[in-house]
Amino acid sequence: MTVLRVSDAPTGEDVLIALSDVSKSYRRGGQIVPVLSKLTFDIRRKEFLALMGPSGSGKSTLLNLIAGIDSPDHGSIEVGGEDITLLPEADLADWRAANVGFIFQFYNLMPVLTALENVELPLTLTSLGRRDRRDRAQLALSLVGLSDRVKHLPSELSGGQQQRVAIARAIVTDPTMLVADEPTGDLDRQSAEEVLEIMQRLNRDLGKTIVMVTHDRRAAARARRIMHLEKGDLSYLVEQRLE
């Protein structure tokens, strides 16, 4: 295991996400709370990156910036050569629909929709017809091993099953990258292993770039690279390569 500074991160053609000089602070009760300061690093295509660090160090904030659901105060975030911080809001929404799949700690499925409908939901933003949408959603559910649960509501599924539905929803549009914020944080060991197994397969077999925030060392061990977000005066990144 080697620990090195972020500046040694890979460069070149296989870079998918390039952050440079990214800063983000929040305003809380008239006070400005700096969270991220001048972060510069790259994430390669087909990478499986685990983002670790103590609570409150800004892991979720960083993930949200990469996923285009929050915007930095300074700096640029290039994804596939396109600086998403420059996109107008509506275009950014379209960009997310096409490029990002989300996996949340608490699954965040629509309670009134069935498993199949939840997976179909992002496809309603595409030009696909109803039949194609159904077929695709079905396929995505079979990839996570839930073909027999399509008609179930989230409340009728276990936590692990719900998270698998969420993964199906994240991959159904075939996005370039998946972002996952503590995807196993709410699961028992067994379910967590299943979910991680699926994510690893998505990365290995389908070449999905995955950025995963996690507390869990066991979860992080599934990744190909780990970055630690440490909180000193300012947060900084430490990289750990796994052999």
Ligand X SMILES: Nc1ncnc2c1ncn2[C@@H]1O[C@H](COP(=O)(O)OP(=O)(O)O)[C@@H](O)[C@H]1O
Residues found near ligand X in the complex (CB under 6 A): 26, 28, 35, 53, 55-61
What would the x/- binding string for other proteins be over residues 14 to 53, using CB under 8 A? ----------------------------------------
Strand, helix or coil for residue 163? helix
The reply on whether position 102 binds other proteins by CB under 8 A is yes
Using CA atoms, how far residue 203 sits from 23, 36, 61, 176, in Å, is: 29, 27, 23, 11
CB of 131 to other proteins, least distance (A): 14
| Rounded Cα distance, 97 and 24, in Å | 24
Q: Mention every residue, 6+ apart, whose C-beta is less than 8 A from residue 178.
A: 100, 101, 102, 103, 170, 171, 199, 202, 208, 209, 210, 211
**55, interface contact from ligand X, other proteins, Mg ion, none, CB < 5-8 Å by kind:** ligand X
| Site for other proteins, residues 113 to 152, rule: CB under 8 A | 113, 117, 120-122, 124-125
The reply on whether position 97 binds other proteins by CB under 8 A is yes
C-beta of 85 vs 176, nearer to ligand X: 85
The reply on whether position 93 binds other proteins by CB under 8 A is yes
Q: Tell me which stretch binds other proteins (CB under 8 A): 14-22, 85-93, 219-227, 234-242.
A: 85-93
CB of 98 to other proteins, least distance (A): 7
Q: Of 88, 91, 89, 138, which is closest to residue 115 (Cα–Cα)?
A: 138
Q: Of 241, 216, 205, 240, which is closest to residue 46 (Cα–Cα)?
A: 205
